[in-house]
Chains A and B, each alone.
Chain A
Amino acid sequence: MTHDLSVPALRADRLGKRYGRQWGLRDATFEIPAGSVVGLVGPNGAGKTTLLALTVGLLAPTEGQVAVFGEPSRAHTADTLARVSYLAQDHPLYRAFTVADMLRFGASMNPSWDRALAQGRMEALGIPLDRKIKALSGGQQAQVALTLALAKRAPLLALDEPVASLDPIARLEFMQDVMAAVADGGLTVVIASHVISELERFCDWLLVLTGGRLQVAGPVDDLLARHTLLTVPRQTPSAALPGASISRTDSDRHSTVLIAADPARMAAAQQPGWHADPVGFEQLVLAYLRRPPLGVSRAEVVAS
C-alpha cells in the first residue's frame, strides 16, 4: 500500500473503446491524485463499466491509454491485476464453495491478503464460515464479495454499483469499512453509482459520463466553486451570461441557469436583476447528466 502520492492514481489519455461500430467510451482524458475517492456517474450504457474494465485491465483500449500509479494498464497482465481490486456489478463468487473456501481462495491469489480484515468482517456480519455461498442471501453474498475486494489490500479499489443489492444499513456499514481503509492512507477508490444523493458524503472527485463521453471531471470542491445557479430575466440570451450554460429552466418572466463560471468572473459580470446562488452537489451532477452528450470541448470548459 505504500505508493508515491505524487504519481497520479489514475491517468487517462484520450482513452477509447469500440465495440464493433459502436464506441463504448471515447476521448476520456483526466488525471486523478492518489488518495481520492472518485464518484463515477452516468446513465446505464454511458460507459462506466467500460471505463472501469479498461482501468483494471479486463479490457484493452481501442485508442489512447489509462495508467494506474504511472504504469499503463495492460489487459490480463499479472502486475496490472495486482494493483487493483475490482468488484464487478454481479459480484461473482464460486457458488459451490463455502465462505471459508472463498476466503482461502482469496488468500492464495493475493500476496497482500489481509486475513484479519476478512475474518473480522465475516464475524461482525454474522456470516458463518462453513456455509456454502449458494446458501447465503443476496445481501450476504454481496458482503462476501465486498470483503474479498477489501481484503486484497490493493492500492486502487474499483467498485461497480457496489451497494445496489444491500439494504440501507448494510450499505452504510460497507462504506464505513471503505472509508476506514481510505483514512488509513494509500487507498484510492472509484465508485460507480446511481445513488447520487449518497455519493456526496463519499467522494471528493467526480467523473460524469453520458453516451460514452466525459461530460465533466474534477475535484468536487473546485467544480462546485466554478458553477453558479443564476436567476435572470427570461429574455436574457445564454450567450450574454458569463459562462457556458449547463442547464436552463425558463419560466414566464425569469430563467434559472446553471452556468460554469469562475467565481471572480461571475462577480465581475453581475447585473442588476440577477440573482446568483451557490450550486449543490446533486444539482450539479443532475445538470450534467441531463445535458446531451457532445464532443471533447465540453469537458474542457471546466477543466481549463
Chain B
Amino acid sequence: MFRFRLDGSSGVPPYLQLVHQVRQSLLLGYLRAGDRLPTVKEVAVDLAINPNTVVKAYRQLEHEGLAAGRPGQGTFITGTLAPPSARASEALRRSLERWLRDAADAGLSQEAITALIAAVRHDVAQEARQDSMEERTG
C-alpha cells in the first residue's frame, strides 16, 4: 500500500504535499495505473492530519485525471505521467550548457549565475500564475 509522508516545516500546504508525492511516484514508476491509494481515514490516522485535507488532495488528483474514486472501493490511480522525452531533455541540456558558458565568459560568478537563474524562474512562475488567474477571472 502506498504510504504518504508529511513535512511539517516545509512551508508547502499539506494537501499539495500529498498531490506532489503521487505525481512524483508516478514519474518514478513507484505508482502505476490500477494501484489503490489508501482511504481518507487511513491517511488521516497515519499522518495525524485533517481528513478534509486528504479529500482535497484526492479531488485535485481526480481533477488532474491521475486518480478516480470508485464508490465503495476506494481511490485508484488511473493516469500516467510520462517523463520528458530523452530527445527534448538532451536539447534543453545543450542549450543550458551553452548559456552557462556564455555567463562564465561574461564574468558572472557561480553565485551570480545561481541568483540570476532564481530570479528568472521566479518571474516566469509569477507570469504563469497571473496568466492562469486572468483566465479564471476574465
Residue numbers of A with Cβ under 8 A of B are 35-37, 172-173, 175-176, 179-180, 182-184, 197-198, 200-204, 221, 224, 263-264, 267, 270, 275-276, 280-282
Contact = CB atoms under 8 A, between A and B. Distances in A.
A172 B44 CA distance: 11
A244 to B, nearest CB: 20
A182 B126 contact: no
B51 A175 contact: no
Given A176-B45, A176-B48, A180-B41, 6 more contacts: A36-B52, A180-B44, A184-B41, A197-B8, A200-B13, A280-B11
B13 A202 contact: no
A35 B133 CA distance: 30
Contacts of A175: 48
A201 B50 contact: yes
Contacts of B44: 179-180, 182-183
A272 B130 CA distance: 14
A292 B122 CA distance: 33
A275 to B, nearest CB: 7
A91 B118 CA distance: 50
B105 interface: no
A200 B52 CA distance: 12
A301 B52 CA distance: 26
Given A201-B6, A224-B13, A183 B133 contact: no
B114 interface: no
Given A37-B52, A200-B8, A183 B45 contact: yes
B85 interface: no
Nearest to A197: B8
Contacts of A173: 48
A118 B83 CA distance: 50
Contacts of A183: 40-41, 44-45, 51
Sort chain B's interface into a size bin.
20 to 34
9 contacts: A176-B46, A179-B49, A183-B41, A184-B41, A197-B9, A200-B14, A201-B14, A204-B52, A276-B126
B109 to A, nearest CB: 22
Contacts of B50: 37, 179, 182, 201-204
Which of B8, B41, B51 neighbours the largest number of chain A CB atoms within 10 Å of its CB? B51
A183 B137 CA distance: 34
A106 to B, nearest CB: 23
Interface string B48-83: 111111001000000000000000000000000000
Contacts of A221: 56
A119 B100 CA distance: 65
Given A172-B48, A176-B45, A201-B50, A270 B130 contact: yes
Q: Which 4 A-B pairs have the closest CB atoms?
A: A183-B41, A183-B51, A175-B48, A179-B44
B103 interface: no
Which of B50, B52, B126 neighbours the largest number of chain A CB atoms within 10 Å of its CB? B50
B90 interface: no
B134 interface: yes
B48 A201 contact: yes
A201 B133 CA distance: 27
A198 B8 contact: yes
A178 to B, nearest CB: 8
A243 to B, nearest CB: 15
Contacts of B137: 264, 267
Contacts of B122: 275
Contacts of A224: 13
Contacts of A276: 126
B133 A204 contact: no
Which of B8, B45, B52 neighbours the largest number of chain A CB atoms within 10 Å of its CB? B52
